[in-house]
């Protein structure tokens, strides 16, 4: 059983969706500290004609307990403008071939204001529903795990009964492979080599190429290294 463990992101990148697609279970890491300058409340889009024109969209948030606030405590700020955000996407993609699909996704997701986690999960599950890709998920906060860092990842795998942890390539810089080896959990590393789509929302790809092409990318790319951790 393969498990992916990842924070809920706002209109996530293709590499995140692919990691989830290649797993049997996505444990939504909703009970760790919110990081203000990461992907939890921001996404990057590109103009469908001028591909050098990029824009980072950030959702303003309220942190009820300051810097220590956990992701599942974060609320979307009252100053967040749904109309302005929608118009920004529209300006970038209204002439793209699949704007109608993007428009429908945006209308539903941006109406989920309140909890940032709810908005982010809507931006993820809605596209999986569109692509007819079944995703089994579980909120980490329901597991009541108190450990941290690599030990936390190992403990999550143990609790859900996973023998393989699917990790993004960035995990090589901070994951303790020794802990995984000692616990009998293998690590399968995602080998993402496509710089063009590394930091751009899936919305960009969907708007230009449509759902069938996006689904093919998520299901067909051979972007994973040979498993490590178990002989």
45 neighbors 193 (Cβ within 8 angstroms):
no
pLDDT of residue 231: 33
Tokens of 142: 């329901």
What is the residue whose two structure tokens read 């939504």?
A: 28
- The structure's pTM equals 0.93
* Per-residue pLDDT tens digits for 7-30: 999 999 999 999 999 999 999 999
* Per-residue pLDDT tens digits for 46-88: 999 999 999 999 999 999 999 999 999 999 999 999 999 999 9
**Averaged confidence pLDDT in the chain:** 93
pLDDT of residue 208: 97
3 state SS of 23: coil
Helix (H) or strand (E) holding 46: strand 42-46
Q: Where are the domains of the chain?
A: 2-220
How far is Cα of residue 218 from the mean position of the Cα atoms in its chain?
Answer: 13
52 neighbors 69 (Cβ within 8 angstroms):
no
């Amino acid at each position: 059983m393969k498990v992916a463990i990842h924070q809920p992101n706002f209109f996530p990148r293709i590499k995140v969706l692919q990691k989830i697609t290649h797993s049997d279970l996505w444990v939504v890491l909703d009970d760790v500290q919110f990081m203000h300058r990461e992907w939890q409340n921001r996404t990057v889009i590109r103009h469908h004609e001028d591909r050098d024109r990029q824009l980072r969209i950030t959702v303003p948030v309220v942190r009820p307990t300051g810097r220590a606030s956990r992701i599942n405590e974060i609320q979307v700020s009252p100053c967040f403008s749904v109309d302005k955000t929608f118009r920004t996407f529209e300006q970038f993609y209204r002439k793209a071939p699949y704007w109608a699909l993007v428009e429908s996704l945006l209308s539903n997701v941006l109406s989920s204001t309140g909890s940032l986690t709810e908005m982010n999960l809507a931006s993820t599950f809605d596209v999986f529903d569109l692509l007819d890709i079944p995703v089994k998920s579980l909120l980490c906060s329901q597991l009541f795990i108190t450990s941290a860092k690599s030990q936390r990842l190992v403990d999550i795998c143990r609790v859900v009964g996973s023998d393989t942890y699917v990790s993004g390539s960035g995990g090589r810089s901070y994951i303790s492979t020794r802990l995984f080896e000692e616990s009998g959990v293998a690590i399968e590393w995602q080998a993402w080599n496509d710089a063009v789509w590394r930091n751009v929302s899936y919305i960009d790809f969907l708007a230009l190429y449509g759902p069938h092409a996006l689904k093919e990318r998520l299901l067909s790319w051979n972007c994973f290294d040979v498993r490590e951790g178990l002989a």
